[in-house]
Structure 1
């Protein structure tokens, strides 16, 4: 008698590999339903992976910019309590350049009253918010700027009417390509457009500007030569110290009316804001994952109801209730895990495509993919508890009677 019980116990044991094959077979037999059920999990995981991947990609670019632009400072004209603009002294650039830690300095001057239009036929009031700025040849090297079209202001631009447009200014004027006839109308005469700047992250005011040389601005546009903004590069280890003395160096008589900024602070604020939005999107992706888990639980409950005959037949052939429970429990886990793996692959693909289009290095961390799949396994396990328990409670006779 003891031997008979032992033989029955051994026969009733289900190995792990056999249980997984049985669960996989149950899902494969209902392929369309399984794919649609796993799709909800896949979309949630793909959203999670792509949001975090794109955030990491953008963060890597912003951190690189922070490292490159952390030693850039700007000095600009301030305002009095009455709101009047206080111009920088004409000696400000020279005095700032004499500070030992300052490595590079350049100045620009906004030309008040000058307008930029596509042609003389455009009404004078329609300026599209474009300002005319006198700039030095050292501007691009100081800002690490670059051109997307043409060339920067050279020696000829000190005599002949040539202009370089900021990125947004060129878009507002409808200029995408350059040619011999590409011109804009500035303050009563035509200027040849010789170049278009790429967006300048650390100096966004230049994106909406039309740049001309200082000599030409003085000769043709009535510019008095007084700078309105000075950009400088410093020794990275001494940037804060230079920033502290800049107001007194640029304008000794009125240091409180000089505005000193560190453009990298804007990048840091942008990085902080991006991280806040990422936290929100991750939370939304988590909610979507829970919704996908509810969908899997619902599908598994329906599967138990539809497969009562199968359950009854297995029980009649000797399968125990725990074997039936394990089968449906594993089916739920496999269904959710397959959706998780598919979601990671889809999210990685989306990250790569979007990051490549944006010109940022695609970053898909394995530290995100692993926990994402693990989370889907947990969701699948939780979703499978009730359907598995319900399948185990079905009596063989009742299940076969419903066939």
Structure 2
């Protein structure tokens, strides 16, 4: 009761209704609605994310396709081929393999096949006799046996290989690069080889396990000895054994090929070079992934910048929503959802673009198209994570605005 008026005052406390919770569909709707209000800005911000994700997905897809192709070739050609070549003596002088090195290698039990080739010293091959002998394009003239293709598992792109009849006559088979250098596009043409015209019997397809043959002009062993001054010493012995005995054969190959000087013999496994290529490609993949991550980071900065500007421009909207009962958490969730929707949309576009680039490049290179599912998931997940991180500060800033402060902003 008031002492002056003699009346009693009653204080009544009215409980305000609790703000309703936003459903997931409502969160998505308000987030997308914010993007629709500024479509050009949203498109440009999402483009940065899309470029970063596309780069990462494309790099992963192309790397995986190249790896699958290389593994397929290794599986097709086998890892059971070894090569023997002469090395150097203790004084650094080049050595020679014995004349019967290939025959000696064939005596090893697990050996399935062995053949040899020999470099014809001083021999040159040219398109015509009017070309300077020094301008031979780096093509080597090599004496070859008729069983060479079977051992190295090479194939012919065109024509025929040397046989028992043609190996004794002026006939030549060109490697893939040698044919391209000489401008020979089909068999039947002639080339000028060490002062004589030789007929081209065939052109080899690229030999994966013996790339030195791609730059060679192959002539028959007897023809090389009789007319080209070849001394008969092999420069490379190609050997294939059973898969289980490769290491065992490798251990005795040098002693067998040259019993007198095994320390001067080099033994190598061509498939190891392919495995090294695979490791090198993996290193380059990591480098390009790093560049894609940098592009993605730049895109995330763009999204954060867009969201900060959006909060500044929409202060009155935020104040109105707060005055109508929206809580701080709902405001925070609204802008966070907008950021994730913006980044996620860019991520989806980037994943689609990266997969298309990867598949197109694989088809162009005749590789098996392979886009790893984990790469696609990682790309999309990275976009969502970047969107979440980029939107945290703007969303928190928007949630801290009081209704009066926001509504008083002009």
The verdict on a shared fold, with TM-score over 0.5 as the criterion, is: yes
Structure 2 partner of 1:251: 258
- The more displaced of 96-105 and 164-173 is 164-173
Between Structure 1 and Structure 2, which shows a larger proportion of helix residues?
Answer: 1
Structure 2 partner of 1:128: 137
* Cα pair 2:336 2:392 within 8 Å, conserved: yes
The alpha-carbon deviation at position 63 of structure 1 amounts to 2.7
Q: Tell me the distance in 2 between the aligned counterparts of 1:159 and 1:190.
A: 14
Quickly say closer, same or farther: Cα 1:338–1:134, change in 2 above 3 A.
same
**2:67 paired with 1:79:** no
Structure 2 partner of 1:290: 297
Q: Tell me the distance in 1 between the aligned counterparts of 2:112 and 2:198.
A: 33
Q: Tell me the distance in 2 between the aligned counterparts of 1:60 and 1:352.
A: 13
SS of residue in 1 equivalent to 2:49: helix
Structure 1 partner of 2:370: 363
- The more displaced of 193-202 and 307-316 is 307-316
Q: Tell me the distance in 2 between the aligned counterparts of 1:51 and 1:160.
A: 51
Structure 2 partner of 1:318: 325
SS of residue in 2 equivalent to 1:231: strand
Structure 2 partner of 1:61: 69
* Cα pair 1:69 1:202 within 8 Å, conserved: no
1:36 aligned to which of 44, 50, 59: 44
**2:393 paired with 1:381:** no
Structure 1 partner of 2:58: 50
* Cα pair 1:109 1:133 within 8 Å, conserved: yes
Q: Tell me the distance in 1 between the aligned counterparts of 2:203 and 2:279.
A: 31
* Cα pair 2:159 2:187 within 8 Å, conserved: no
**Which of 1 and 2 has greater Rg?**
2
Q: Tell me the distance in 2 between the aligned counterparts of 1:307 and 1:165.
A: 73
The alpha-carbon deviation at position 246 of structure 1 amounts to 0.9
Q: Tell me the distance in 1 between the aligned counterparts of 2:267 and 2:353.
A: 46
The alpha-carbon deviation at position 3 of structure 1 amounts to 12
The alpha-carbon deviation at position 179 of structure 1 amounts to 5.3
The alpha-carbon deviation at position 155 of structure 1 amounts to 4.3
1:270 aligned to which of 268, 271, 277: 277
* Cα pair 2:187 2:203 within 8 Å, conserved: no
Q: How many residues align?
A: 399
Q: Tell me the distance in 2 between the aligned counterparts of 1:36 and 1:350.
A: 21
The alpha-carbon deviation at position 156 of structure 1 amounts to 4.6
The alpha-carbon deviation at position 4 of structure 1 amounts to 7.3
- The more displaced of 320-329 and 245-254 is 320-329
Structure 1, unpaired ranges of 5+? none
1:350 aligned to which of 354, 357, 371: 357
- The more displaced of 80-89 and 250-259 is 80-89
Structure 2 partner of 1:114: 123
Q: Tell me the distance in 2 between the aligned counterparts of 1:24 and 1:187.
A: 76
2:186 aligned to which of 166, 169, 178: 178
SS of residue in 1 equivalent to 2:141: strand
Equivalent runs, 1:159-178 vs 2, <5 Å: 159-175=168-184, 177-178=185-186
Q: Tell me the distance in 1 between the aligned counterparts of 2:39 and 2:164.
A: 71
Structure 2, unpaired ranges of 5+? 1-11
**2:33 paired with 1:25:** yes
* Cα pair 1:157 1:212 within 8 Å, conserved: no
Q: Tell me the distance in 1 between the aligned counterparts of 2:47 and 2:293.
A: 15
- Give me the CA root mean square deviation: 2.2
Structure 1 partner of 2:7: none
Q: Tell me the distance in 2 between the aligned counterparts of 1:333 and 1:394.
A: 21
The alpha-carbon deviation at position 382 of structure 1 amounts to 0.7
**2:213 paired with 1:203:** no
SS of residue in 1 equivalent to 2:173: strand
Q: Tell me the distance in 2 between the aligned counterparts of 1:307 and 1:270.
A: 55
Cα deviation, 1:255-307, whole Å, max 9, x if unaligned, reads: 11111111122122222222222222222222222221111000111111222
